[in-house]
Amino acid sequence: MTLIEISNDFHHTSSRVRVGRMSESNAKRVRNRLCGSAECCCSQSELGTRGPQRTEDGQEIVIEFAGYGVGVDIWLRKPDVMCSDSELAERAAVELS
């Protein structure tokens, strides 16, 4: 499995994780490493990340909550699949017409 680095740009912390499913207990450890404060609301995901999450080669790191008792899914999205909000709006307009 591929190791990637995720970060919290507010606290200037980072952690290396594997792509795939992460257990709840490991997700809690990573979250505490990235943002250890229980009352802080800086993070944007279940893993305590904040800011853009990308690999060195530009792939987007996607973090999704898999369900209570299940954990967190981490996967990569290639740059050619990503598009900006304006591109999404243009595609939606074309599909509606």
| Domain chopping of the chain, boundaries | 3-96
Is residue 30 exposed (0-12), middle (13-18) or buried (19+ Cβ within 10 Å)? buried
- Please tell me the distance from the alpha carbon of residue 22 to that of residue 9, in angstroms, as a whole number: 22
pLDDT at 33: 93
Chain segment 48-85, per-residue pLDDT in tens: 999 989 988 888 988 888 888 788 888 888 766 555 55
